[in-house]
């Protein structure tokens, strides 16, 4: 029997190590109450036209833009990303809300199909209450990219943010509620994995989860026992391939942006860099020089490029991966150690002389460390890129874009970008293959994940006397 007594948890500023606030963890009764409220809201929300639902998304976008400075500070203080990245995260949330308010109604239009019936079409209807379990590294964006399409489709949601970033989640709830949204359409519960389990066990009809592979496996097993739909966005070990005809200036800039964004803590960050030997020296010279120029410091300063890692445990994991590589013969070009200052700061790190068997090449790395491996040609790059349990994103750099596209088609990944870094975009589907996840977020495809795709056939006169029924 789950305990009815609430437990408490604290949030910590990773830049200082100081406690920010204490929160009461939701009980099973709290979760059930939130889901019941969301079910009642669903009965009203689903009856609104998509155009009317869109109004609330537009209002929420305006609220996020109006409160961007305040909300960006909350994000940065809770999880450590530089304020110069927290502000764009809010802008992206507003963009996604506006995108679905504009395009969602069109996406939901019935699709007419010719059959033997007088009229036949495909309708898209909401499912009900969707449980949303999200991580800390993009605390608002990862919720909005699920919530915007789910809400415009007519669903309601109960959202559990990471226990690292509860204030960010509460701020998002306040933004939605300030628009006059039907109470219960966007609810929040707080706590750790046990609270997520309560949500899966509750009367939610589906689950959207973003997090680690092991946690995703547990979510899938728990949801499957109840025959609940689920979408999983899990880890990544994205390859970054530099072909011999690449623009090395652009590729080296892309490597810095792709590897060190969000202090290196992103599922779609560059994780493994493969460079054709012919251009390796030129690439390394530029990459190292640019990485050395990154400013590490107070994440609330607009001058800071690299802030602290989210927690001491994460720093120790990354440091272990780096030290394992060095023990096996990797060379440190820069970094390779924690910085001697208050907070969980790790020096921007570049390693060379890599082998595929090193931990940092096999495991997902969440932190500012970039392994660079020389390859003889594009075929070896493709083989090594695919030598991973993950398949989320990939990047290919080359001036012959047809050749680069050919390489991209050979990589097992859900997202591939040529001559730029991998990003999530409301207009394009987001998700991976292998252990990187199941299902898609964003675009029309992501919205349809949480709809009942209903076939409707209308006959003015019954053809049963003549039809072969199957």
Query: H/E element holding 314?
Result: helix 312-327
268: number of Cβ within 10 Å: 26
What CA–CA distance (Å, rounded) separates 458 from 112?
Answer: 12
Sign of the C-alpha dihedral computed for residues 81, 83, 88 and 89 taken in this order: positive
Half-sphere exposure of 435 (CA within 13 A, CB side): 18
- State the Cα–Cα distance between residues 307 and 299, nearest whole angstrom: 5
CA atoms within 13 A on the CB side of 79: 27
- The one catalytic residue in 85, 89, 98, 233 is 233
Distance from C-alpha of 436 to C-alpha of 95, rounded to nearest angstrom: 25
244 is annotated as an active-site residue:
no
Looking at 93, 143, 185, 267, which residue is catalytic? 267
Say which residues have a Cβ less than 8 Å from residue 348's Cβ, sequence separation at least 6.
Answer: 260, 291, 292, 294, 296, 306, 334, 335, 368
CB-based burial of residue 290 (10 Å sphere; 0-12 exposed, 13-18 middle, 19+ buried)? middle
Count how many residues are written for the chain: 470
Gap between the Cα atoms of 117 and 103, Å rounded: 29
Give SS3 for 24. Answer: strand
| C-alpha–C-alpha distance, residues 412 and 409, integer Å | 8
In 108-212, which ranges are continuous DSSP H helix? 141-152, 166-177, 193-201
Answer yes or no: 267 catalytic: yes
DSSP helix/strand/coil, 148 = helix
Please tell me the distance from the alpha carbon of residue 99 to that of residue 313, in angstroms, as a whole number.
37
**207 vs 244: CA distance, rounded Å:** 44
How many CA atoms lie less than 13 Å away from 173 in the CB half-sphere? 22
Other beta carbons within 10 angstroms of residue 273's beta carbon come to: 27
- Cα gap 265→368, rounded to integer Å: 8
The helix (run of H) or strand (run of E) holding residue 393 is strand 393-397
CA nearest neighbour of 324 among 284, 295, 365: 365
- What's the number of CA atoms in the CB half-sphere (13 Å) around residue 439? 23
Active-site residues, by number, are 233, 267
């Amino acid at each position: 029997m789950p305990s009815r007594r609430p437990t408490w948890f604290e949030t910590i500023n990773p830049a200082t190590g100081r406690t920010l606030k204490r929160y009461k963890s939701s009980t099973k009764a709290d979760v059930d109450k939130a889901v019941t409220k969301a079910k009642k809201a669903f009965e009203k929300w689903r009856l609104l036209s998509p155009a009317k639902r869109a109004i609330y998304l537009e209002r929420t976008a305006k609220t996020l833009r109006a409160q961007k400075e305040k909300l960006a500070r909350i994000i940065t203080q809770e999880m450590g990303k530089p304020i110069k990245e927290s502000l764009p995260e809010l802008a992206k949330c507003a963009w996604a809300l506006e995108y679905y308010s504009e395009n969602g109604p069109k996406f939901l239009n019935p699709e007419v199909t010719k059959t033997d019936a007088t009229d036949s079409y495909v309708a898209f209807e909401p499912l009900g209450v969707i449980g949303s379990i999200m991580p800390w590294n993009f605390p608002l964006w990862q919720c909005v990219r699920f919530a915007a399409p789910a809400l415009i489709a007519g669903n309601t949601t109960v959202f559990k943010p990471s226990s690292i970033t509860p204030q960010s989640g509460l701020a998002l709830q306040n933004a939605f509620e300030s628009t006059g949204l039907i109470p219960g359409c966007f609810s929040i519960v707080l706590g750790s994995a046990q609270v997520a389990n309560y949500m899966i066990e509750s009367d939610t009809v589906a689950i959207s989860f973003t997090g680690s592979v092991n946690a995703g496996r547990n979510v899938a097993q728990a949801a499957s026992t109840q025959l609940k739909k689920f979408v999983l966005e899990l880890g990544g070990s994205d390859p970054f391939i530099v072909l011999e005809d690449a623009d090395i200036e652009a590729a080296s800039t892309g490597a810095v942006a792709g590897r060190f964004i969000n202090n290196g803590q992103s599922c779609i960050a560059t994780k493994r860099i493969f460079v054709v030997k012919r251009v390796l020296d030129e690439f390394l010279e530029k990459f190292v020089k640019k990485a050395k120029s990154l400013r590490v410091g107070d994440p609330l300063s607009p001058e800071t490029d690299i802030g602290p890692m989210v927690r001491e445990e994460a720093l120790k994991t990354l440091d272990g991966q780096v030290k394992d590589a060095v023990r096996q013969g990797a060379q440190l070009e820069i970094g390779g150690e924690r910085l001697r200052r208050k907070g969980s700061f790790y020096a921007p790190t570049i390693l060379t002389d890599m082998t595929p068997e090193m931990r940092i090449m096999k495991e997902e790395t969440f932190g500012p460390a970039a392994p660079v491996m020389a390859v003889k040609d594009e075929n070896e790059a493709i083989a090594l890129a695919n030598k991973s349990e993950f398949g989320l994103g990939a990047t290919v750099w080359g001036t012959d874009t047809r050749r680069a596209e050919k390489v991209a088609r050979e990589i097992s990944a859900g997202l591939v970008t040529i001559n730029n870094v991998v990003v999530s975009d409301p207009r394009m589907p987001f998700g991976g293959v292998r252990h990187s996840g199941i299902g898609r977020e964003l675009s029309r495809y992501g919205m349809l994940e949480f709809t009942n795709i209903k076939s409707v056939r209308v006959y003015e006169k019954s053809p049963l006397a003549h039809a072969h029924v199957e």
